Amino acid sequence: MFGAVNALGEALVCQALHRGVKTQQRRREGPAAALLWQKPRSAAQQRHSVTAILSKMAGADGDDSLYPIAVLIDELRNEDVQLRLNSIKKLSTIALALGVERTRTELLPFLTDTIYDEDEVLLALAEQLGNFTMLVGGPEYVHCLLPPLESLATVEETVVRDKAVESLRKISQEHSPVDLEVHFEPLVKRLASGDWFTSRTSACGLFSVCYPRVSSTVKAEIRQHFRTLCSDDTPMVRRAAASKLGEFAKVLELDYVKSDIISLFTALASDEQDSVRLLAVEACVSIATLLPQEDLETLVMPTLRQAAEDKSWRVRYMVADKFSELQKAVGPEITKNDLVPAFQNLLKDCEAEVRAAAANKVKEFCENLPEDSREQIIMTHILPCVKELVSDTNQHVKSALASVIMGLSTILGKDNTIEHLLPLFLAQLKDECPEVRLNIISNLDCVNEVIGIRQLSQSLLPAIVELAEDAKWRVRLAIIEYMPLLAGQLGVEFFDEKLNTLCMAWLIDHVYAIREAATCNLMKLVEKFGAEWAQNTIVPKVLGMANDPNYLHRMTTLFCINALSEACGQDITTKQMLPVVLKMSNDQVANVRFNVAKSLQKIGPVLDSNALQTEVKPVLEKLATDTDMDVKYFAQEAISVLALA
Amino acid sequence: MSAISASEKVDGFTRKSMRKAQKQRKSQGSSQYRTQSAPVELSPLPQLKDAPSTEQQELFTQKLQQCCMLFDFLDSVTDLKSKEIKRATLNELVDYVSTNRGVLVETAYPEITDMICTNIFRTLPPSENPDFDPEEDEPTLEASWPHIQLVYEFLLRFLENPDFQPSIAKRYIDQKFVLQLLELFDSEDPRERDFLKTILHRIYGKFLGLRAFIRKQINNIFLRFIYETEHFNGVAELLEILGSIINGFALPLKAEHKQFLMKVLIPLHTAKALSLFHAQLAYCVVQFLEKDPTLTEPVIRGLLKFWPKTCSQKEVMFLGEIEEILDVIEPTQFKKIQEPLFKQISKCVANPHFQVAERALYFWNNEYILSLIEENIDKILPIMFGSLYRISKEHWNPTIVALVYNVLKTLMEMNCTLFDELTSSYKADRQREKKKEQERDELWKQLEELRLSNPTLVQNNCHGLPSVQNNNNNNSNNNNNNSNNNNDHQDKSVDAAAVATDDDDPDVSVAANESTPCAK
């Protein structure tokens, strides 16, 4: 199938490869590259010349299609990392050109030997090899990819190693069961008994992918290896094992979960290092899901109770953070008896981090309580803790609570909400920390569904006003974003009366981002309340700003018009807005004038063709002869977009 | 609300300095989790010195037990009396173990270690400031320091007491004790870390059986710091201890120690917060090289591998370390590493950041380095010449330009024939480099073409790669377009090269003039 042509090309690639293997650590420019640099310069002659040189070398006619591949391989050893990286990223092209056999016999050994390189290059290599199955000849030959990936899985740098493990996991699926036992599993074993911790940590991630598909003797070996790694003397390996414990448990037979995994779990959960213990909490969720309800109490709960009371806050934090998952995994009975008191303790923890994590889970925890006793548990056990958190000393705790507390109202219903929750909402609305108030306001919709927002409006207003004038512009920005929602819930009357002034005040804020958001807000309000409302309440004020002495405010008028014209419709745009825009074309500030051109371009489609021709066109033509180049530019752009030329 | 000024509305951060000022000097309670019920009030015991010698030991034990009571220091008003009693007792205990002989009877050891463990071993609280920058921010101080300090003091005096017997103490000061002690090095409070440093050093000195364990655990802490958390406050202190440990290593170095150097100390250079412990780290590295010069090549290669790519501050530190290494390097080792090393130095010299360039150029003020360069001038000058020459014309910073002139002059004096050769071939070399660059670009384009026109290859070599063949149909057109584009592009770049070459001309002639005096 190969003609002389390809044979020649391959000879070159081959040469490069072998040279590569021999001198790979030096990365000198090889003869192939040197040859290339001496090529004639003329671009036109280039193709021809390359061929000529090639022919001279091999003494035969040939096409140069494989030639760049040889150079590419040369570039894998270039001094410049970037060039090596580029080359590695084209690895599939090289393999494709070489064909499956040469890829297996030459390219892969070369790559396996190249492993000493910059981590960035290795990362790219690890990633590429995960998709190489077809390039080495399909699943039948996929095991050829194992040697380079094995080396990569022992590299120090975590990202490289993780990527290598990811690729190994991927190609493990492409192994036949036989290959898995003959090639893959031995690799896992080698890694698991490696000298340096990196190979052992990598091994932890590979057990679960091969376990389900191997014979029972090999399974026993795998379990043994995993056990060994769980009691490794470096904490790094124990952490890796602990983090894969849940995943491994899922592929094990239930009996082995009970006999093996539980003891490993208990051991890891009482490790001397809290960084290991906290990972066992994550595994707890998976393990508890696997076990039948009647075994949970004896096999899992002692450890979980201990974790919830761990002396390290990191472990308690993890318990709080995973609380909803744990709750689902252990079921309603254990939740009632064990998790409720544990949750109360976490809500009262001495570390703010833990309290905040628990506060975040309040709503989810309550939602998932068994329905028959839900209300009673919340009222007698959870709510008292929540009340204390409202006046917590730490603002992160309060703000975590504020982001979920409103959700309790749907669970507790109207009466309880009014009696018990409302005072808490009101207290948080008056909190000194803006984030807390903001979180309450952003979740108003939950309460609205249950008791209607009116109950809150008296307290809401001062809170909104205060946030609207907060010193931090990001806070002001956040509250603006909730305005359309609030307006929808409070109704047009309340809005006109209390909030309209605020919305207009934002238009002349000192910060551009606020003015921009305010403009956008007006548009949404008009979409909500309709064009008539806009005409009566907003448009006059916006247009009034066209005469403001500050040019930034005059520009805001234009921005508002841009945003509002569509929502307001042709009539208002033509009759009220257009004259103002046209008048502003005489503004002495160039920024205003070119924004006039931009505005005209924007509102043009809303106007009727008569107004366009008789009013807009002359103004744009005048602006197109402006002294300022930007004004000219935008005027011309508008003319061409509106097709007025 | 009206108090908020307009300027603050524009920038909510104007008050940051004020907020920072308020925040500073914050102290933090230990994360003691329900270890005990509410403290009972302490009642003062009689003074040890007043007690008859027969009762002293009993009283000593009582006092130790009394000091196991922990207090909440975040609440500054509670238990004032008891806190004061504990403080006075601790002071007395410190005094007692440091001035009296014969007080460390065997039965006292468990009581003493028990008191120490109860007080100092605790889970460190979460950092108040998650993005704590040790260089900028004030550290959060340990609230219970008034007591903890005295406990540390006591531990130190205990270890230093002439009667102290490691053979008895090793039952209590064991691996677990050391492990907990090492965890405390993460404390944000520098006063605490300082005590820990001295204490760990004493323990390392007195307990031979714990040495290997201590080294291994420090290894683990460093590896976690490098590859997992990037956060540990006590790296500098631990390195300082290691510095003196390395000093005492026997020769030839064990494989374990070499591995520590290559797999832990060198990768430590990649840390973001390198500046906090670089001095100690460089000291450790140099200690190793002084012990065993054959490690020089792997160490320098390691440093070159992790050479900072974007952080100029770190680059300056690396250069500092390289100079420290060069100060102790053996000429034979220098020869082994000179090429890769000077390629990096030549890049540093050409760095647009003047501090980096300046730091690299300062190497030429070092007599020993100069002598090494002179010995190997035929190798080094060709590597350095290009950068130095270009920088002498192009660098924006006049100080750098002046330094470069001096360096060029020094190099010229070392071997003026070679210098002249390089000067005259400079232009040709640059052109060759440009051509290489250009040809590489062309190659890549050609490769793209090849990939697009690959179907023949694909079909020949591997049957049934559907994903690849999908691309083939619509490629023939693109191909033509591509080659046209290529040609256009090449023409342009050739022009650009020509222009650039013209610009270079005058420079070369100037340099040639400079070299004439030497030729005479």
Q: Given this model, what pLDDT does residue A72 score? A: 65
Average pLDDT, chain B: 79
Q: Which residues of A touch B9 (CB under 8 A)?
A: 469, 471, 473, 509-511
Q: Given this model, what pLDDT does residue A16 score? A: 45
3-state secondary structure of A530: coil
Q: Look at B9 and A473 and tell me if their CB atoms are within 8 Å.
A: yes
For residue B470, the distance in angstroms to the closest alpha carbon of chain A comes to: 14
Residue B405 scores a pLDDT above 60:
yes
Segment B75-98 mean pLDDT: 85
Q: Which residue has the tokens 């590569």?
A: A20
Q: Report pLDDT digits (tens) over A366-389.
A: 988 888 888 888 888 988 999 998
Nearest Cα to B103, choosing from B113, B93, B116? B93
pLDDT grade for B335, boundaries at 50, 70 and 90: very high
**Percent share of chain B, pLDDT over 70:** 77
Q: Given this model, what pLDDT does residue A397 score? A: 92
Chain A, 573-612: which have a CB under 8 Å from a chain B CB?
none
Q: Report pLDDT digits (tens) over B112-133.
A: 999 999 889 988 888 777 666 7
Q: Which residues of B touch A508 (CB under 8 A)?
A: none
Residue A20 scores a pLDDT above 50:
no
Residue B509 scores a pLDDT above 90:
no
A101 sits in which H/E element: helix A91-102
3-state secondary structure of A608: coil
Q: Look at A311 and B33 and tell me if their CB atoms are within 8 Å.
A: yes
Q: Report pLDDT digits (tens) over A403-430.
A: 888 888 888 888 888 888 888 888 888 8
For residue A109, the distance in angstroms to the closest alpha carbon of chain B comes to: 20
Q: Look at B220 and A235 and tell me if their CB atoms are within 8 Å.
A: yes
Check if B50 contacts A (Cβ < 8 Å).
no
Check if A25 contacts B (Cβ < 8 Å).
no
B141 — phi, psi (to 5°)?
-95, 150
The CA distances from residue A248 to A159, A212, A221, A307, B11, in Å, are: 22, 10, 14, 21, 52
Q: Given this model, what pLDDT does residue A28 score? A: 31
Residue B489 scores a pLDDT above 60:
no
pLDDT grade for B201, boundaries at 50, 70 and 90: very high
B189, B140 Cβ separation under 8 angstroms: yes
Residue A163 scores a pLDDT above 90:
yes
Check if A474 contacts B (Cβ < 8 Å).
yes
Q: Tell me the one-letter amino acid at A420.
A: H
For residue B214, the distance in angstroms to the closest alpha carbon of chain A comes to: 13
pLDDT grade for B13, boundaries at 50, 70 and 90: very low
- Whole-number Å distance between alpha carbons of A496 and B441: 65
Q: Report pLDDT digits (tens) over A75-109.
A: 777 777 788 888 888 888 778 777 888 888 888 88
Chain B residue with CA closest to A75: the answer is B440
Check if A316 contacts B (Cβ < 8 Å).
yes
ipTM over 0.85: no
For residue B8, the distance in angstroms to the closest alpha carbon of chain A comes to: 6
Q: Which of A1, A71, A466 sits opposite B443 (nearest CB)?
A: A71
Segment B498-503 mean pLDDT: 37
Least confident of A156-170, A233-247, A486-500: A486-500
Highest mean pLDDT among A44-53, A121-130, B196-205: B196-205
Q: Given this model, what pLDDT does residue B130 score? A: 66
The verdict on whether omega for the bond into residue B252 sits within 30 degrees of 0, i.e. cis, is yes
List of residues 6+ apart from A543 with CB closer than 8 A: A557, A576, A577, A580
pLDDT grade for A66, boundaries at 50, 70 and 90: low
pLDDT grade for B519, boundaries at 50, 70 and 90: very low
- Whole-number Å distance between alpha carbons of B272 and A204: 28
Check if B437 contacts A (Cβ < 8 Å).
no
pLDDT grade for A317, boundaries at 50, 70 and 90: very high
Q: Given this model, what pLDDT does residue B333 score? A: 93
Q: Given this model, what pLDDT does residue B453 score? A: 60
Least confident of A53-62, B46-55, B113-122: A53-62
Q: Given this model, what pLDDT does residue A224 score? A: 92
Q: Which residues of A touch B224 (CB under 8 A)?
A: 235-236, 275
Average pLDDT, chain A: 82
Least confident of A356-360, B238-242, B503-507: B503-507
DSSP string, A318-341: HHHHTHHHHHHHHHHHHIIIIIHH
Q: Given this model, what pLDDT does residue B475 score? A: 38
Check if A32 contacts B (Cβ < 8 Å).
no
3-state secondary structure of B27: strand
pLDDT grade for B448, boundaries at 50, 70 and 90: low
Of B462, B468, B493, which to mutate for an interface test with A (greatest number of A Cβ within 10 Å)? Answer: B462
Q: Look at B458 and A96 and tell me if their CB atoms are within 8 Å.
A: yes
Q: Report pLDDT digits (tens) over B215-266.
A: 999 999 999 999 988 789 999 999 999 999 998 898 899 999 999 999 999 9
A107, A147 Cβ separation under 8 angstroms: no
Segment A591-616 mean pLDDT: 89
Q: Which residue has the tokens 């012990």?
A: B291
**Percent share of chain A, pLDDT over 90:** 28
Check if B492 contacts A (Cβ < 8 Å).
no
Q: Given this model, what pLDDT does residue B363 score? A: 92
Q: Which residues of B touch A93 (CB under 8 A)?
A: 447, 450-451, 454
Check if A65 contacts B (Cβ < 8 Å).
yes
Check if A314 contacts B (Cβ < 8 Å).
yes
Q: Report pLDDT digits (tens) over B22-45.
A: 444 455 655 555 545 556 677 777
Q: Given this model, what pLDDT does residue A569 score? A: 84
B7 vs B500, residue with greater confidence: B7
Q: Tell me the one-letter amino acid at A197.
A: F
For residue B519, the distance in angstroms to the closest alpha carbon of chain A comes to: 33
B487 vs A445, residue with greater confidence: A445
A491 vs A556, residue with greater confidence: A556
pLDDT grade for A391, boundaries at 50, 70 and 90: confident
Of B310, B440, B445, B472, which to mutate for an interface test with A (greatest number of A Cβ within 10 Å)? Answer: B440
Least confident of A613-617, B53-57, B145-149: B53-57
B295, B258 Cβ separation under 8 angstroms: yes
Q: Look at B224 and A235 and tell me if their CB atoms are within 8 Å.
A: yes
